[in-house]
């Protein structure tokens, strides 16, 4: 049985994702598709446009059979940690293939580049520290070290491209786990990951779609051609009830924390390093929006993403101690099930007793500290929902079930 795994955020699910999913099924000859999906807060340190439950519905309607949540301590981290957590979960649930989108489009450059780095790792780390000490951001220092080692040659991977970077770490994680997962990649088409403008009638990046959604006070008809019908319907409903999420919605909560908590408390939050909390406390006094705040805080050394991640950890109250405890574990300690098709349910019924880590369908299913950070992040995400009293709390949620043949939720 071929079980294909994909690692996603679906923020939101669009035609490019649909292309990747269909190509994954065909290329891997998949009988079943499992998605590891980020929860309420994402890898670039921002709240998801739609809740993880709404995005799970979109994934199931698109043809995913099982949706597993990537825990917060991995979902909101740099690419290497993000990839390790996601690949570990795919390995744990028994997937046979991992298929990701990339700018490269073939797997050979990933394998060749990892092999080259294996012989130059010490030199690379030395150069990375050197460029970081010169005030460069981590991504910039990485690119400079890569160039200085002369690793820009035909056949090697272009690590300036965001999907190539993630793919590189996916392949690394598979090798580190010594997993039998077969890794494949599909070339990303049309829009780039960071493209902020819509230039094609049918394919646009999630970044461009989110930008367009917030540029219109009402529904933007052009977006209907960029997403499957079920995504367009979900976005239209979310717009109508003001349930599309962005950082501006949470700014007042962040501002309150920065203005009222002592510096030593702010310093306890994950990624609060080198006095960044002091800079935050000063700038927040004059900022009237999240955009104002970010523009004033950003420096050459710290990327927008790096600063957003710290904001996310402050907003959710996630401490260094909590994240370091998670980082010390070999891999995620549970599989949090968000949704499944009937075919996915049959597979889980067959394999759940053989799983190496617990399958969690409700928070109450597991008596552990592992879910505390996830639970708090989910509750924090719901702070701005206007119909908060009508939305089930995180501990009340059970997996979404979907009948793919009848195309309806059960």
Residue set of the binding site for ATP = 7-20, 101, 163, 188
Distance between CA atoms of 321 and 312, rounded to whole angstroms? 16
**Which residues does the annotation place in the binding site?**
7-20, 101, 163, 188
Distance between CA atoms of 254 and 309, rounded to whole angstroms? 12
Segment 293-296 long-range contacts (CB within 8 Å, at least 24 positions apart):
293/251, 293/254, 293/255
95: nearest Cα among 87, 106, 107 = 87
Q: Identify the burial level of 269 via C-beta atoms within 10 angstroms of its C-beta, where 0-12 means exposed, 13-18 middle and 19 or more buried.
A: buried
8 A C-beta contact, residue 320 and residue 270: yes
Q: How far is CA 324 from CA 14, 128, 319, in A?
A: 35, 22, 9
281: nearest Cα among 300, 299, 301, 260 = 260
Distance between CA atoms of 246 and 227, rounded to whole angstroms? 20
* Cβ neighbours of residue 137 closer than 8 Å, sequence gap 6 or more: 300, 301, 302, 303, 306
Distance between CA atoms of 3 and 32, rounded to whole angstroms? 5
Distance between CA atoms of 40 and 55, rounded to whole angstroms? 10
For 368-399, give the DSSP string.
SSTTHHHHHHHHHHGGG-TTGGGSPPGGG---
Q: Is the dihedral of CA 265, 325, 91, 362 positive or negative?
A: negative
Residues making up the chain, counted from first to last: 410
Distance between CA atoms of 141 and 132, rounded to whole angstroms? 6
118: nearest Cα among 176, 182, 162, 180 = 176
H-run or E-run covering 401: strand 400-403
8 A C-beta contact, residue 50 and residue 13: no
Q: Is the dihedral of CA 255, 10, 407, 93 positive or negative?
A: negative
Other CB atoms within 10 A of residue 258 CB: 21
């Amino acid at each position: 049985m071929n079980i294909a795994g994909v690692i996603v955020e679906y923020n939101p699910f669009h035609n490019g994702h649909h292309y990747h999913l269909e190509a994954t099924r065909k290329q891997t000859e998949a009988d079943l598709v499992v998605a590891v999906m980020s929860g309420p807060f994402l890898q670039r340190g921002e709240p998801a446009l739609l809740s993880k439950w709404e995005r799970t519905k979109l994934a199931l309607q698109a043809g995913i059979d099982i949706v597993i949540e990537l825990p917060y301590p991995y979902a909101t981290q740099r690419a290497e940690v993000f990839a390790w957590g996601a690949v570990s979960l795919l390995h744990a649930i028994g997937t046979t293939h991992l298929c990701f989108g990339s700018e490269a489009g073939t797997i050979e450059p990933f394998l060749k580049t990892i092999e080259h780095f294996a012989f130059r790792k010490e030199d690379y780390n030395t150069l990375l520290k050197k460029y970081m000490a010169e005030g460069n951001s981590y991504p910039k220092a990485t690119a400079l070290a890569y160039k200085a080692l002369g690793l820009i040659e035909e056949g090697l991977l272009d690590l300036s491209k965001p999907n190539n970077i993630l793919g590189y770490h996916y392949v690394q994680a598979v090798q580190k786990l010594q997993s039998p997962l077969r890794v494949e990649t599909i070339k990303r088409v049309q829009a780039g990951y960071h493209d902020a403008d819509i230039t094609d009638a049918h394919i646009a990046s999630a970044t461009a779609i989110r930008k367009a959604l917030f540029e219109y006070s009402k529904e933007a008809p052009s977006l209907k051609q960029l997403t499957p019908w079920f995504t367009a319907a979900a976005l239209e409903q979310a717009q109508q009830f003001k349930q599309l999420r962005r950082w501006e919605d949470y700014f007042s909560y962040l501002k309150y924390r920065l203005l009222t908590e002592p510096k030593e408390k702010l310093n306890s939050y994950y990624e609060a390093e080198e006095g960044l909390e002091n800079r935050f406390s000063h700038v927040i006094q004059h900022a009237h929006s999240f955009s104002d705040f970010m523009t004033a805080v950003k420096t050459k050394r710290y990327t927008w993403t790096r600063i957003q991640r710290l904001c996310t950890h402050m907003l959710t109250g996630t401490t260094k101690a909590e994240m370091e405890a998670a980082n010390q574990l070999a891999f995620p300690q549970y599989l949090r099930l968000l949704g499944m098709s009937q075919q996915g349910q049959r597979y889980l019924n067959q394999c759940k007793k053989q799983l190496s880590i617990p399958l969690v369908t409700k928070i109450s299913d597991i008596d552990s500290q592992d879910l505390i950070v996830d639970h708090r992040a989910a509750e924090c995400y719901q702070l701005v929902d206007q119909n908060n009293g009508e939305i089930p709390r995180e501990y009340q949620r059970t997996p979404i079930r979907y009948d793919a043949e009848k195309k309806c939720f059960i």
